[in-house]
């Protein structure tokens, strides 16, 4: 029994220390890109159906929205990440400058930070001496403790890439039935089938969201499904109302 427990502990530690895969690392980008892709594309489809537009027009509008909005969102995520990274390096370089030209002031800031944490006397001075003996360590502490800034290790390129891939892949769900019907008529309620498939997509992406937010699975699934349904209902009736007003 003791051997089994030891093996379990080693395996458990190995799992904890294992580097996350690219997908795990960028799961948040995949989830929120997928939610946005599914919501916006389904809203376009619902609004077009409400306006009584032909399936061919729905496909055109849907794909135009899917590709353009997906690209826009991914570029926005990429630029935002680059901006945050540049801001982090700007403040880090400033800390290096302050340590070089105002070492006593910066040393006193370290002393104040750890004094507020409960360190005092000889122990406090040893902590200050240890931290300030290495310039890189000193800057790291100032970034975390004074500025509360932590470097994001995720690549801006992959942030934009996974956002775009998820937006496109999940956003395709509301359009698949219309594309299929265009080439091989289904002779059934296309919008109903699309709504069911899109609802399943919302539930799936909502479940993935719970791994990011660490919330209950059912709550994440229902929340995403509800928000998607509200967006579709609003778009449907807006399309219906505008079609009636413009056709007079």
**Is residue 3 very low, low, confident or very high in pLDDT (cuts 50, 70, 90)?**
very low
Which has the closest alpha carbon to 28: 205, 171, 173, 200? 205
The residue count for the chain: 248
Structure tokens at 237: 């009736």
Residue bearing the bigger pLDDT, 20 or 173: 173
Tell me the CA end-to-end span of the chain in Å, nearest whole number: 81
What stretches of the chain show up as alpha helix (H) in DSSP? Answer: 2-17, 22-25, 27-50, 55-101, 103-116, 121-132, 135-141, 156-171, 173-183, 190-213, 217-246
- For residues 226-248, give the mean pLDDT: 79
- Which residue is it, tokens 């370290």? 110
Kindly provide the b/e burial profile for residues 8-37, where b requires at least 16 CB atoms within 10 angstroms of the residue's own CB.
eeeeeeeeeeeeeeeeebbbbbbbbbbbbb
- Which residue is it, tokens 């003996």? 133
- For residues 59-74, give the mean pLDDT: 92
Q: What is the mean pLDDT of the chain?
A: 84
The region, left, alpha or beta by phi > 0 then psi within -120 to 50, assigned to residue 216 is beta
Which has the closest alpha carbon to 115: 105, 125, 104, 101? 125
pLDDT (tens digit per residue) in 8-43: 344 443 444 445 555 578 888 888 888 889 889 989
> Is the pLDDT confidence value at 149 over 80?
yes
Which has the closest alpha carbon to 197: 235, 170, 220? 170
- Which residue is it, tokens 């070492």? 103
Q: What percent of the chain has pLDDT over 70?
A: 90
Q: Where are the domains positioned within the chain?
A: 25-239
> Is the pLDDT confidence value at 5 over 50?
no
Q: What percent of the chain has pLDDT over 90?
A: 44
Residue bearing the bigger pLDDT, 124 or 21: 124
Position 23 scores a pLDDT of: 58
Tell me if 13 sits within 8 A of 194, measured CB to CB.
no
When mean pLDDT is compared across 64-68, 92-96, 102-106, 219-223, the lowest value belongs to 219-223
**Is residue 70 very low, low, confident or very high in pLDDT (cuts 50, 70, 90)?**
very high
Position 21 scores a pLDDT of: 56
Position 221 scores a pLDDT of: 79
């Amino acid at each position: 029994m003791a051997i089994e427990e030891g093996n379990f502990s080693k395996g458990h530690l190995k799992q904890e220390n294992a580097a996350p895969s690219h997908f795990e690392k960028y799961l948040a980008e995949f989830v929120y890109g997928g939610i946005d892709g599914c919501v916006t594309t389904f809203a376009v489809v619902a609004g077009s159906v409400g306006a009584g537009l032909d399936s061919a027009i729905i496909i055109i509008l849907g794909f135009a929205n899917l590709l353009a909005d997906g690209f826009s969102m991914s570029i926005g995520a990429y630029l935002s990440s680059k901006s945050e990274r540049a801001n982090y390096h700007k403040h880090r370089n400033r800390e290096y400058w302050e340590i070089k030209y105002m070492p006593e002031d910066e040393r006193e800031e370290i002393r104040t930070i750890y004094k507020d944490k409960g360190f005092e006397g000889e122990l406090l001075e040893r902590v200050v001496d240890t931290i300030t003996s290495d310039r890189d360590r000193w800057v790291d502490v100032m970034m975390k403790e004074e500025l509360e800034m932590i470097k994001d290790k995720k690549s801006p390129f992959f942030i934009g890439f996974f956002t775009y891939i998820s937006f496109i892949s999940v956003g395709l769900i509301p359009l698949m039935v219309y594309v299929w019907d265009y080439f091989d008529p289904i002779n059934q309620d296309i919008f109903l089938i699309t709504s069911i498939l899109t609802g399943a997509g919302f539930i799936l992406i909502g479940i993935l969201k719970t791994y990011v937010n660490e919330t209950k699975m059912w709550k994440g699934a229902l929340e995403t499904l509800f928000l998607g349904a509200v967006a579709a209902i609003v778009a449907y009736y807006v399309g219906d109302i505008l079609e009636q007003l413009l056709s007079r």
